[in-house]
Structure 1
Amino acid sequence: TSCANEDMPVEKILEAEQAVEPKTETYIETNLGVPSNSPNDPVTNICQAADKQLFTLVEWAKRIPHFSELPLDDQVILLRAGWNELLIASFSHRSITIKDGILLATGLHVHRNSAHSAGVGAIFDRVLTE
């Protein structure tokens, strides 16, 4: 077990996260939770946030020990296979302090009611409960 920890130290994973993901406080202080250039359409907002988060996910993966040493095809296969779980884990972690909502990568806070109004309430509720 200690050998595995030496090969993949938690500190390196944390460093990768901190290098690509601003603190939650930064989102709130900068945007008060709502970016000024944000469209009013919740689906557009969610898609823009997903796009930003996917870009960030690739940057994060490149910083994970040994990932960049893999052949490029293997890197792509791994990211394609796990992007959805990593995306959900990312905004779930970012939203720990948010009640009945999630904090997207763009800094937008999406409340449960807004998600239901946009037609993505069932998915939203599943994410909040899992």
Structure 2
Amino acid sequence: GGRRCLDDLKVLVALRACEPESTNALPEVLPGDMSDLSLVGALADFYDRELVATIGWAKQVPGFSDIVLDDQMQLLQSTWGEILTLGLAFRSMSNGGNRLHFAADLTIDENSAREWHALELYNQVQAVVKRFEQISLQHDEFL
């Protein structure tokens, strides 16, 4: 009914308001100046910031703060990988090819994934990207 639509709209507005802002992944270096090891470090730092943003986002999701703290922690601990991976897949939709869009300054294609021994991850995320594209997932639905 009308009440449910209004409640759904309120939740959507709240989710839009607390959506984490996009961020850069890489430190300020010239392309080609980054070794594989420093790239891994930059990605680890990026995902650390993404995780902190996800925790901040979760705290603002309507109803989340009403859950017992131990249950909040358990929910986040058991789903953070999926949450970050779904975000990566959504950012990678329709970006002009088969690239994973980690951040505004970092996209990875299949060859790069192969070089970094991350081809399995690349293929799994690309499968999710393709599924999102097949169902024409919209931003509001993703939230």
Q: CA, structure 1 residues 45+5, in 2 after alignment: closer, same or farther (shift >3 Å)?
A: farther
Deviation at 1:97, TM superposition (A): 3.4
> Does structure 1 residue 46 correspond to structure 2 residue 27?
no
In structure 2, the residue matched to 1:122 is: 120
In structure 2, the residue matched to 1:6 is: 7
Deviation at 1:106, TM superposition (A): 7.1
Q: CA, structure 1 residues 52+105, in 2 after alignment: closer, same or farther (shift >3 Å)?
A: farther
* Bigger Rg over Cα: 2
Deviation at 1:80, TM superposition (A): 0.7
Q: 2:92 and 2:99 mapped to 1: Cα distance?
A: 7
Paired residues of 1:35 and 1:107 also in contact (CA < 8 A): no
The amino acid that maps onto 1:84 is G
Which structure 2 segments of 5+ residues have no match? 129-143
- In the superposition, the TM-score normalised over structure 2's length comes to 0.69
Q: 1:112 and 1:34 mapped to 2: Cα distance?
A: 19
* Mapping of residues 49-128 of structure 1, within 5 Å: 49-98=46-95, 99-105=97-103, 107-128=105-126
Q: CA, structure 1 residues 118+125, in 2 after alignment: closer, same or farther (shift >3 Å)?
A: same
Count of equivalent residues: 120
Paired residues of 2:26 and 2:42 also in contact (CA < 8 A): no
Q: 1:3 and 1:43 mapped to 2: Cα distance?
A: 45
Deviation at 1:4, TM superposition (A): 8.3
| 3-state SS of 2:66 partner | coil
Deviation at 1:49, TM superposition (A): 2.3
Which structure 1 segments of 5+ residues have no match? none
Paired residues of 2:113 and 2:122 also in contact (CA < 8 A): yes
RMSD: 2.7
Paired residues of 2:26 and 2:43 also in contact (CA < 8 A): no
Deviations 1:5-36 (A, max 9, x none): 6276212112111xx223xxxx6xxx7x9652
Paired residues of 2:98 and 2:109 also in contact (CA < 8 A): yes
Q: 1:47 and 1:113 mapped to 2: Cα distance?
A: 20
The amino acid that maps onto 1:53 is E
